[in-house]
């Protein structure tokens, strides 16, 4: 028999949970049980991989300390990893004993949360331990408390050894009917890294820009020009009004279109292309609806910028010149 202990506290001296799981580990080892302990606070970067350690376990102990509110971040992160990456078929055969000791209010709620979480995962919860400890030294020296902990460890051993059944729980019924996790070919480490990148808005925007530019580059190399791009280019060429001494290079994006335009104005010459230009003065973006209002003469470029209908990165003065060189009125 093998039992894993997952400790989700901070590992502080005087943590009553460490005392409890120490006694339980000692009793289980006397019963010839292989016990392996995982200190989540020392394995912050690898918590997402820990569900894999349960594959050869017959039972587990989830132990944490309530220091101010709830079961703590490390334990919650471990349970999240079990939901996302754990083998649900294997978890369904694993007994779990919750241990929650509190130095403040909330030990009963913490124990109930662990039991509910394990049932939702499909596992088998056992009777656990919870208590409020105001004075650690008196708790550690109390023989009655020690005997209670030893009895709980023996009960866990007996429950696993006899493969005690449990009544069906509504938590499991809800999981089977409405809850599911998507299969993924990514490892837990890859998924974790991907989620960090996905939460970075700047990174996501840069990736979108890179994808659009690569799309334009390969499409141009293959001699393909999108019909929407052709109509947009044609629209700018038809309404172009040469202005002497004007030199502009800007990127123009209509959000619903497939690719941005890179427009260069050099005195009386106009060049519109989907090929990226690194020497742009400004990056302009607006919706298709707002661009249609400009194209129909209902709004100017400068007004669209001033009222927030068009975003501009770079030289804001470009918006004034646009109304001069592109006459949509």
43-78 as b/e, with b when 16 or more CB fall inside 10 Å? eeeebbebbeebeebbbbbbbbbbeeeebbebbebb
SS3 category, 59? strand
Report the C-alpha gap between 98 and 138 in whole angstroms. Answer: 23
Longest Cα–Cα distance of the chain, Å, equals 96
Report the C-alpha gap between 296 and 50 in whole angstroms. Answer: 61
Tell me phi and psi for residue 300, to 5 degrees.
Answer: -95, 165
| CA neighbours closer than 13 Å in the CB half-sphere of residue 195 | 9
pLDDT of the residue at 225: 47
Q: Are 44 and 76 in contact (CB under 8 A)?
A: no
**12: closest CA among 51, 35, 41, 32?**
41
Report the C-alpha gap between 230 and 223 in whole angstroms. Answer: 13
pLDDT of the residue at 223: 46
Report the C-alpha gap between 60 and 72 in whole angstroms. Answer: 18
pLDDT of the residue at 176: 61
Report the C-alpha gap between 171 and 327 in whole angstroms. Answer: 65
For the beta carbon of residue 274, count every other beta carbon within 10 angstroms: 23
Classify strands 95-102 and 124-125 as parallel, antiparallel or unpaired.
Answer: parallel
SS3 category, 315? coil
pLDDT of the residue at 178: 54
Residues 6+ apart with CB under 8 A from 182: none
Q: Are 53 and 39 in contact (CB under 8 A)?
A: no
Q: What does the pLDDT profile of the chain (329 residues) look like in tens digits?
A: 999 999 999 999 999 999 999 999 999 999 999 999 999 999 988 999 999 999 999 999 999 999 999 999 999 999 999 999 899 899 999 999 999 999 999 999 999 999 999 999 999 999 999 999 999 999 999 999 999 999 999 999 999 999 998 887 776 666 665 555 555 555 555 565 555 555 566 766 777 777 777 766 665 554 444 556 677 888 888 888 888 888 889 999 888 776 788 999 987 889 988 888 888 999 999 998 898 888 888 888 988 888 889 999 888 888 888 888 888 87
**Computed from CA positions of residues 157, 162, 167, 171, in that sequence, does the dihedral angle turn out positive or negative?**
positive
Which residue matches tokens 């978890």?
Answer: 91
Residues in the chain: 329
Q: Are 63 and 29 in contact (CB under 8 A)?
A: no
Report the C-alpha gap between 40 and 296 in whole angstroms. Answer: 62
| CA neighbours closer than 13 Å in the CB half-sphere of residue 125 | 23
Report the C-alpha gap between 259 and 219 in whole angstroms. Answer: 10
For the beta carbon of residue 79, count every other beta carbon within 10 angstroms: 23
pLDDT of the residue at 198: 53
SS3 category, 317? coil
pLDDT of the residue at 243: 84
Q: Tell me the domains of the chain and their CATH numbers.
A: 2-178 (3.40.50.360), 223-325 (3.30.1050.10)
């Amino acid at each position: 028999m093998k039992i894993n202990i997952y400790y989700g506290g901070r590992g502080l001296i005087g943590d009553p949970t460490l005392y409890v799981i120490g006694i339980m580990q000692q009793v289980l080892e006397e019963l010839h049980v292989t016990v392996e302990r995982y200190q989540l606070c020392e394995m912050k970067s690898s918590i997402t991989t820990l569900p894999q350690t349960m594959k050869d376990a017959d039972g587990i102990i989830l132990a944490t300390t309530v220091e101010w509110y709830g079961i703590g971040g490390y334990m919650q992160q471990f349970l999240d990893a079990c939901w996302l990456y754990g083998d649900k078929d294997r978890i369904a055969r694993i007994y779990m004993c919750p241990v929650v000791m509190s130095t403040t209010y909330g030990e009963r709620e913490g124990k109930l949360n662990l039991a509910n979480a394990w049932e939702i995962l499909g596992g088998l919860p056992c009777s656990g331990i919870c208590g409020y400890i105001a004075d650690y030294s008196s708790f550690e020296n109390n023989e009655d408390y020690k005997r209670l902990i030893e009895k709980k460890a023996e009960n866990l051993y007996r429950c696993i050894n006899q493969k005690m059944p449990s009544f069906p729980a509504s938590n499991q019924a809800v999981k089977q009917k409405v809850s599911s996790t998507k299969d993924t070919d990514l490892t837990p480490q890859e998924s974790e890294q991907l989620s960090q990148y996905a939460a970075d808005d700047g990174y996501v925007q840069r990736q979108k820009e890179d994808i659009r530019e690569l799309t334009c580059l390969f499409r141009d190399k293959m001699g393909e020009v999108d019909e929407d791009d052709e109509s947009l280019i044609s629209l700018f060429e038809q309404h172009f009004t040469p202005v002497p001494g004007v030199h502009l290079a800007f990127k123009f994006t209509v959000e619903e279109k497939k690719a941005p335009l890179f427009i260069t104005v050099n005195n009386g010459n106009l060049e519109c292309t989907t090929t990226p230009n690194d020497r742009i003065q400004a990056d302009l973006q607006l919706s298709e609806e707002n661009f249609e209002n400009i194209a129909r003469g209902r709004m100017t470029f400068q007004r669209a910028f001033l009222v927030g209908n068009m975003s501009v990165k770079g030289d804001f003065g470009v918006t004034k010149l646009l109304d001069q060189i592109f006459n949509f009125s």
